[in-house]
Chain A
Amino acid sequence: DVVMTQTPVSLPVSLGGQASISCRSSQSLVHSNGNTYLHWYLQKPGQSPQLLIYRVSNRFSGVPDRFSGSGSGTDFTLKISRVEPEDLGDYYCLQSTHFPDTFGAGTKLELK
């Protein structure tokens, strides 16, 4: 299975500041069709995961442009600018290029 290594485990931030989360895969996530199926989710306390970014850099409907995704191959990054209180929670990356789908272990974004 593809191993998704997410860092850091915990990320203290100040409101209005910037956060960056890394996700590295154990093999390239470029599919044979040329697409890269790497996605980012936010899980707020007591809620189900919500899709933020799909296929590396595409913001899902309603997601503010403070969230941006980048990367290629095996290295990917989620950046959050001007952090707001509703951004706090657990962030997960997910790869669906290779069977089975696998998630990163998560990054807890919390107040400094």
Chain B
Amino acid sequence: EVQLVESGGGLVQPGRSLKLSCAASGFTFSNYYMAWVRQAPKKGLEWVATISTSGSRTYYPDSVKGRFTISRDNAKSSLYLQMNSLKSEDTATYYCARNSGDYWGQGVMVTVSS
């Protein structure tokens, strides 16, 4: 059974950093592009980042480019999202997902507030 379990969320002040993790199981992690998608409270879905199988290629929308960094450790079947210079508009539930969009984690809440 495919499982994606996010961790690392919480309350953080504007301008500070936070790192999310996603533990994958039930499939060969190193064979899949992976992604992060977020959802602000009561709002729609927004793609945040994608990483290639080896980690050599990463992709971001303009809204987070230069502030967020996606990475992976294939030996640990883990995906990460380093978020720097956080803003109030980054407040959202962050989902880890296979980039094919077929499996998603349950999400982790990040609140950026003073």
Contact = CB atoms under 8 A, between A and B. Distances in A.
A54 B98 CA distance: 14
Interface stretch (B13-21, B23-31, B41-49, B73-81): B41-49
A1 to B, nearest CB: 8
B104 A100 contact: no
Interface string A60-97: 10000000000000000000000000000000101010
Given A48-B95, A96-B101, A103 B106 contact: no
A99 B44 contact: no
B32 interface: no
Contacts of A103: 44-47
Contacts of B8: none
A105 B101 contact: no
A8 interface: no
B102 interface: yes
A25 to B, nearest CB: 15
A94 B47 CA distance: 10
Interface in B40-75: 44-47, 59, 61
Contacts of B95: 48-49
Contacts of B107: 48
A105 B46 CA distance: 10
A99 B105 CA distance: 23
